[in-house]
Amino acid sequence: MTREEIESREDESMMDAPQMNNPKPEEFFNVNYLRIYYGKSNLFPYSDIHKWLSYGHDGKHPGCDEYYFGRREFSFTLENDVYLRYKSFKNASSMEDAIKSHFPYKIDIGAVYSVDPDKRHAYSQTGTNVFTPVERELVFDIDITDYDDVRYCCSGADVCSKCWPLMTVAIKVIHTSLTEDFGFKHILWVFSGRRGVHCWVCDPKARRMTNEQRSAVAEYFRVYKGNENNARKVALMGYSLHPFLARSYVDYLKGFFEGELQATQSIFSTKDKYEKILAMISDEDIQSELRGKWENSARSSLSEEAISLVRWEQLKNTLQSKKHKAPTLRMCVEEIVFTFTYPRIDLEVSKQMNHLLKAPFCVHPKTGRVCVPIDPNNCDDFDPLAVPTLSQLIEEINSGGSRMDVDDDDDSDTSLLGKSIKFFRSSFLEPLLKSCKEEIESSYKTKIGKSKDSLSW
Number of helices (H), then strands (E), belonging to the chain: the values are: 18, 9
Q: Which of the following is catalytic: 48, 108, 135, 141?
A: 141
- Decide: 311 and 268 in contact? Cβ < 8 Å: yes
Cα dihedral 144/133/74/65 (nearest 10): 130
- Distance of CA 430 to CAs 54, 70, 175, 381, Å? 13, 22, 19, 23
Q: Which is nearer to other proteins, 232 or 422 (CB)?
A: 232
Work out how close the CB of 111 gets to other proteins at its nearest, in angstroms, rounded to a whole number.
18
Q: Which is nearer to other proteins, 66 or 219 (CB)?
A: 219
Work out how close the CB of 432 gets to other proteins at its nearest, in angstroms, rounded to a whole number.
17
Task: Kindly list the residues in this chain that would bind other proteins in the complex (CB under 8 A).
Answer: 180-184, 205, 209-210, 212-213, 215-217, 219-220, 237-246
Q: Which is nearer to other proteins, 15 or 237 (CB)?
A: 237
DSSP character at residue 413 = -
Q: Which of the following is catalytic: 48, 108, 135, 143?
A: 143
Q: Which is nearer to other proteins, 9 or 222 (CB)?
A: 222
Work out how close the CB of 330 gets to other proteins at its nearest, in angstroms, rounded to a whole number.
11
Q: Which is nearer to other proteins, 199 or 218 (CB)?
A: 218
Work out how close the CB of 252 gets to other proteins at its nearest, in angstroms, rounded to a whole number.
17
Closest C-alpha among 433, 425, 409, 429 to residue 59: 433
Work out how close the CB of 334 gets to other proteins at its nearest, in angstroms, rounded to a whole number.
11
Determine how many CB atoms are found less than 10 A away from the CB of residue 18. 11
- Decide: 296 and 271 in contact? Cβ < 8 Å: no
Question: Is 73 assigned a catalytic role?
Answer: yes
Q: In sequence order, what are the residues at sequence separation of 6 or more whose Cβ sits closer than 8 angstroms to the Cβ of residue 12?
A: none
Q: Which of the following is catalytic: 48, 58, 73, 116?
A: 73
Positions marked active-site: 73, 141, 143
